[in-house]
A = this chain, B = another copy of it.
Amino acid sequence: MGLAGIKDVADRAGLSIATVSRALSGKANVSAKSRQLAKAAADELGFVPSYHASSLASGRNHNVGLVVPSIHRWYFSSVVEGVSGTLLDAGYDLTLYNVGDRPERRHSVLNDFLVRKRLDAVIAVALVLSESEIKQLLAIHRPIVGIGGALAGASTIRIDDARLARTATEHLIGLGHTRIAHITGDAELNQDFKLPGIRRAGFEAAMEAAGHAVRPEWVVFADFTIQGAYVCARNLLASAAGRPTAVFAASDEMAIGAILAARDFGLRVPQDLSVIGMDGHELGEVFGLTTINQDARGQGALAARMLLETIDAGARRPAKGTPPSAAATDREYPTEFLVRNSTAVPPA
């Protein structure tokens, strides 16, 4: 018994190929009896339609592409999880493009993979695309949504990183801190990834507004991992003399790294050092980390739902000059300021 085709089903059900196709895909204009016959025959033969043939004929792929810069960091794996769940439930496949930090891989993904007319839609996470890249993507007439990255011309889901960074910093300032350090993302590694700079700008804005100096040696660059931030924070906290009283880390993972470093020096959090993060990492609970909670998984799920709607609404054959995208909406995803106990008034 090889793989059964729709022809086999039709023969067995005593129907035409056309009717079987309609019956199985739930289309109208099929009598109840025929539908049942077709379904029974399909079941008995273990028939499942070939995606390729079906896609080729219908122009529908049942497949959305997801481009991420990494899969290890909390934020990205959470988004992937959200997207994945929603898609799977809707019967869609998820094609994952983990471009990493290798530019040539980024290039091939953008130029070869995405363009190959195989995807119904694309979700790009924290990816900054050039104008020509966006144009190219839009040219294949697929809806795109960007998460956490600026994608001019495409719909985006994002949080207001600058404002939230300011809020976090203001929380420390409000407690009386003036000697505040900031652990930010790596400057060079990934030019695609503008987020660290945005959060850093929010930090600086809040400091300046409060009239506190931003000391360059207290703005340190880590890689968004616990271990990376741990090393940075050790340097930061090494000299008992000129030590900050508070740290704002651009991610929870880095905040945790800072807490671990503080513990190494016998510093108590929050009595000796306040630490605030940003993200909502599950591990934050263990450390009592004050943070700004963003539901990354929910953001992924929302992106997937938005695309599924667009796809369902959209014309069957995207090649027929459909407008690039209904309207590029820019949604701000809700966040929550989560005060736990890693922040307090500065030591006397």
Interfacial residues, chain A to chain B (CB-CB below 8 A): 2-3, 46, 48-53, 55-56, 61, 63, 71-72, 77-78, 80-81, 84-85, 88-89, 91, 93-100, 105, 108-109, 112-113, 115-118, 140, 225-227, 230, 257, 260, 263, 282-283, 285-286, 319, 321
Contact = CB atoms under 8 A, between A and B. Distances in A.
B140 A3 contact: yes
Given A71-B84, A88-B98, A51 B117 contact: yes
A256 to B, nearest CB: 9
Contact of A225 (B56, B109, B282): B282
Contacts of A85: 98, 100, 105
Contact of A52 (B56, B72, B112): B56
A99 B94 CA distance: 12
Q: How many copies does the complex hold?
A: 2
Nearest to A111: B48
14 contacts: A3-B140, A48-B117, A49-B116, A50-B116, A50-B117, A56-B56, A81-B100, A85-B100, A85-B105, A88-B98, A88-B108, A91-B112, A226-B286, A227-B285
A78 B117 CA distance: 29
Contact of A112 (B48, B78, B112, B225): B48
Q: Which of A53, A91, A96, A117 has the most CB of B within 10 A?
A: A96
Q: Which of A52, A99, A100, A117 has the most CB of B within 10 A?
A: A52
A97 B105 contact: no
A287 to B, nearest CB: 8
B50 A56 contact: yes
A77 B71 contact: yes
B109 A88 contact: yes
A66 B283 CA distance: 27
Closest 4 CB pairs of A and B: A84-B98, A51-B118, A52-B56, A96-B96
A94 B113 CA distance: 11
Given A50-B118, A84-B97, A88-B99, 19 more contacts: A2-B321, A48-B116, A49-B116, A51-B116, A52-B52, A52-B55, A53-B56, A63-B95, A71-B77, A71-B81, A84-B96, A88-B108, A88-B109, A94-B95, A94-B97, A225-B283, A226-B286, A230-B286, A257-B286
Nearest to A264: B286
Contact of A77 (B3, B77, B263): B77
A267 to B, nearest CB: 13
Nearest to A80: B71
A227 B116 contact: no
A78 to B, nearest CB: 8
Contacts of A282: 225, 227
A113 B62 CA distance: 11
Contacts of A260: 286
A91 B112 CA distance: 9
A324 to B, nearest CB: 13
Given A3-B117, A77-B71, A96-B96, A227 B283 contact: yes
